[in-house]
Every structure is written in C-alpha cells, then in structure tokens.
Amino acid sequence: MKVLLTGGAGFMGSNMVRYLLNKRQDIELVNVDKLTYAGNLDNLKDVTGHPHYSFVKADIADREAMERVFKKFHPDVVINYAAETHVDRSISRPFDFAMTDVIGTLTLLESSRASGVTKFVQISTDEVYGSIEDGEWNESTPFDPSSPYSASKASGDHLVHAYWKTYGFPGIVTHSCNFFGPYQYPEKLIPLFITNLLEKKKIPVYGDGAQVREWIFVSDHCAAIESILDRGVAGESYNIGTGNRITNLELTKKLLATLDATDDSIEYVKDRPGHDRRYALDATKLKSTLGWKPIVSIDDGLRSTVQWYRDHEAWWHKIKSGEYLAYYKEQYHG
Ligand code: NAD
Ligand code: DAU
C-alpha cells in the first residue's frame, strides 16, 4: 500500500511515520511536509534511509506542488496530519491557520480525488465541538469551534464530508483528544512544563487551571489511526478518546511530583482568550466497530514522556534557544 502522509516532520506525524515503517512491511510511505517552525527533520533521523520511505518538502496548499507529488507517487491512501496546531498562535496569526488547515486540506482533497486515492484520513481534533460542561460528545454532535485554530480545522473537516457527499470521495474524519509523548514541540502544556521544570524555570498556568482536557499517549493514537487505515468506513467520523480526563492543575501537580518540584514553580498568568473549559469524547464507535482500545494510562505515559525529555535535552534545547523563546517571551512577558 502506498501511503502519502503529510505533516510527518511534526510531533504526531513523525511518531506515525516511525510506527508504520517499523510495524508494516506492506507500506511504502512518502512524507510531505513544509517544515514550518513545528516541522523538524531531527524527529526522523532513525527512519532516514529506510528503503520504503521518502521525504518531499512541500506546502499542502500549493496546488502545483501537490499535483507533482501525486503524479510522481500515485498514493493509494492519504493521511493528513499537516496543520497549524497551536491554539495560542492561532489567536495572533489566524491567516496561517486558514491557509493550511482549510485551503491546504482542500488542495489535498482535490489532488487526491483527481489521482483516484481510495482512502483519505483527516487527522482532526475534539476542539471542533467547542466546550462541554457535562457529558460527552459523540460523532453526531454539531461543531461549535471557539478559536481560529478549531474553526479552521472544522472547515477542513466539513470539506472532507462535502467531498464524500458531492463526489463520493472516500474521506474519513478523526476527532482526537490531546496527544502527548516524545517529540512534542515545547509550546504545548506537557513538554513546555517538563522542559521548564528541567531548566528550573516557572510554569505558566492559564487562568485558574480548572480547565479539563482528555489525554492520549502517542502509541495509542497511532494504533487508532492504523485501525482506521485498515477498517475505517468511507464517509464516517471517529472520535478518538481515552476517558483520561484531568484538570490542567491536576496534571501540573503530577508533573511537579515526577520532577521533584513544588507549587512554587507555578506562575498563574492571564487566561487564553476564548479558552474552552472542558473536553470529553465518547469513543464508543471506534471501540465497538473497529476494535481499538487505548492501553497507556496517563501516569505511565507521563513517566515515559518525562524520561524522554530528560534523555533528549539537546533536541528540545535547540528549539527553546531559538525561535520559540522569542515567541514565548512576547506572549507572556511583554
Ligand atoms: P505539529 O504542530 O507538531 O506538526 C505539524 C506539522 O505539519 C509540522 O511538521 C509542519 O511543518 C507541518 N505543516 C504545517 N503546515 C504545513 C503545510 N502547509 N504543508 C505541509 N506541511 C505543513 O502537529 P501535531 O501536534 O503533531 O498535530 C498533528 C495533527 O493532529 C494536526 O492536524 C492537528 O490538528 C491534529 N491534532 C493534534 C492534537 C494534539 O494534541 N497535538 C490533538 C488532536 C488532533
Ligand atoms: O484537544 C486537542 C487539541 O489539543 C489539538 O487539536 C491542538 O492541536 C493541541 O494544541 C491541543 O490544544 P490545547 O489548547 O488543549 O493544548 P495546549 O497544550 O496548548 O494546552 C492544554 C491546556 O493547558 C489548555 O487548557 C491551555 C492550558 N495551558 C497551555 C499552555 C501552553 C496552560 O495553562 N499553560 C500553558 O503554557
């Protein structure tokens, strides 16, 4: 099976490239990535040179570039991880998000349709549903996004469904909870807090820290996407959730304990505008129809994630000493 995977130099994309190449002999994979600030070829050092792997630096919103890639590679399947992903950045740079998450998705759909792709898996987010006080979202819950990021992802997801209804194009949309694990860019809560604590710096908790997020470890997400790749039904959506829900403050305390730090490291900072209060996914459909289930607990996942960041200081130090540091200072310290 020829797989075109986009965004494979980012956090979850690179974990999936590694997962597929290690696990599946039947796959030939091309990774298409623009290498934005979040794309990092250091994430893929161990697969470079693999006989079933190739890399193309390209923008998914560039029609000519996509036509060239599809003509050359003729993929059977497309998995679209490429996106602008950080909610805070979407508040200050919304156009970047619309360009990649909406126009990029559309461009990829159009090239995929013209090329006769037999399955298109859109990697999307629970954030398209908005915020939920009680209960859980299922796949029929209407979208109600809060940020320019989630609104852009919701638009991309609507386009995938529209291509199914209009052209019978075999798109599938996944809505996942928050990922965590190795290679996550240190702007997201878990890697930012781990690396700040390793550097003996403060950790910025937004608002009161009582927001609830649901967490999935990288290997569980990779297995969920593999089940959809093999058995997912065209035109459908699947929630990918674990039930591992926790407030940001509870999560922060777990990290403090794992890293032998105290509450003194916490700095309460201004809240994120439009901050969603609670996310909660009902993942019954994926579990009952495709047989997937998550196996990594939040505590085990956090322990191995902390260990990975301890062991890969050069990886994150390079990132934090450059572009990200300037961005972070501007956002939170004027
Ligand atoms: P990331 O920010 O770590 O990486 C994104 C990758 O996409 C980078 O390699 C970047 O270079 C590439 N990219 C960005 N714009 C591009 C473009 N125009 N053309 C080609 N490549 C481009 O992302 P992540 O956190 O691993 O998320 C991957 C996907 O999963 C995204 O679609 C995101 O919306 C979705 N998602 C993320 C989470 C999460 O918790 N991080 C949860 C649910 C869903
Ligand atoms: O729910 C899935 C989404 O999870 C993905 O679609 C997004 O791409 C991904 O970035 C993530 O979004 P969040 O906004 O939930 O992740 P983030 O790590 O930015 O923040 C997690 C929570 O922690 C959120 O409530 C905001 C809060 N937070 C975050 C940062 C970076 C803080 O309190 N302090 C921080 O410094």
CATH label of the domain that carries residue 118:
3.40.50.720
Indicate whether 120 belongs to any domain. yes
Indicate whether 251 belongs to any domain. no
CA nearest ligand 1 atom 17, residue = 59
| Distances in whole angstroms, Cα of residue 216 to Cα of each of 78, 242, 276, 298 | 23, 6, 18, 8
Which residues are registered as beta bridge partners of 56? 32
Q: Which has the closest alpha carbon to 173: 117, 227, 233?
A: 233
The helix or strand, by DSSP H or E, that contains position 229, with its residue range, turns out to be helix 218-231
Indicate whether 11 belongs to any domain. yes
pLDDT string in tens for the chain (334-residue length): 999 999 999 999 999 999 999 999 999 999 999 999 999 999 999 999 999 999 999 999 999 999 999 999 999 999 999 999 999 999 999 999 999 999 999 999 999 999 999 999 999 999 999 999 999 999 999 999 999 999 999 999 999 999 999 999 999 999 999 999 999 999 999 999 999 999 999 999 999 999 999 999 999 999 999 999 999 999 999 999 999 999 999 999 999 999 999 999 999 999 999 999 999 999 999 999 999 999 999 999 999 999 999 999 999 999 998 765 555 555 544 4
Kindly report the pTM of this predicted structure. Answer: 0.97
Indicate whether 225 belongs to any domain. yes
Structurally, how many domains does the chain consist of? 1
Give the span between the Cα atoms of 149 and 274, in whole angstroms. Answer: 11
CA nearest ligand 2 atom 7, residue = 85
178 close to ligand 2 (CB < 6 Angstrom): yes
Identify which of 36, 69, 137, 183 to mutate to test ligand 1's pocket (most ligand atoms within 8 A of the CB): 36
Give the span between the Cα atoms of 281 and 176, in whole angstroms. Answer: 8
Indicate whether 146 belongs to any domain. yes
Do strands 28-33 and 203-206 pair parallel, antiparallel, or not at all (unpaired)? unpaired
184 close to ligand 2 (CB < 6 Angstrom): no
Longest Cα–Cα distance of the chain, Å, equals: 57
3-state secondary structure 55-96: EEECCCCCHHHHHHHHHHHCCCEEEECCCCCCHHHHHHCHHH
Identify which of 15, 79, 81 to mutate to test ligand 1's pocket (most ligand atoms within 8 A of the CB): 81
Which residues are known catalytic residues?
126-127, 149
Domain around 231? 2-185+215-244+277-298
